[in-house]
Structure 1
Amino acid sequence: MSVIAQVFVVVAGVFHVTVFALESVLFRKPSTYQRFLVKDDAEMTAARPWAFNQGFYNLFLAVGALGGLAWGGDKGHAIALFACACMAGAGVVLVASDRRMVRAAVAQAVPPILALVLAAVL
Structure 2
Amino acid sequence: MILLGFVLAGLAALVHVFIFWMESLAWTSERARRTFGTGTVQEAEATRELAFNQGFYNLFLAIAVVLGITFYAAGHHAVGATLVFTGAGSMAAAALVLFLSSPDKRGAALKQGVVPALGVAALAVGLLV
TM-score of the two chains, using structure 2 as the length reference? 0.89
- Which amino acid is 2:103 matched to? R
Structure 1, unmatched stretches of 5+, are none
| Separation (CA, whole Å) in 2 of partners of 1:40 and 1:97 | 24
2:81 maps to 1:83: no
Runs of 4+ in 1 over 2 A off after TM superposition: none
Structure 1 equivalent of residue 30 of structure 2? 30
CA distance in 2, matches of 1:113, 1:41: 34
Q: Within 2, Cα distance between the matches of 1:45 and 1:68?
A: 35
User: What SS class does the counterpart of residue 39 from structure 2 fall into?
Assistant: coil
Q: Percent identity?
A: 33
Alignment partner of 1:50 is 2:54? no
Q: Distance in 2 between matches of 1:77 and 1:40?
A: 42
- TM normalised by structure 1 equals 0.94
- Say whether residues 1:40 and 2:44 are aligned partners: no
Which residue does 2:59 correspond to in 1?
A: 59
User: 1:30 Cα deviation (Å)?
Assistant: 2.0
Distance in structure 2 (CA, Å) of the matches to 1:55 and 1:78: 22
Number of residue pairs aligned between Structure 1 and Structure 2: 122
Unpaired runs of 5+ in structure 2?
none
Please list the CA deviations of residues 33-64 of structure 1 after superposition, one character each: whole Å capped at 9, or x if unmatched. 22111121221111111011010000000000
Deviates more, 1:99-108 or 1:7-16: 99-108
Q: Which one of 74, 78, 101 corresponds to residue 78 of structure 2?
A: 74
Q: Does 1:111 align with 2:115?
A: yes
1:88 and 1:3 map into 2 onto residues whose CA distance is 19
Q: Deviations over 1:41-98 (max 9, x none)?
A: 2211111110110100000000001111111122111111111111011001112221
Aligned to 1:28, what secondary structure does the other structure show?
A: coil
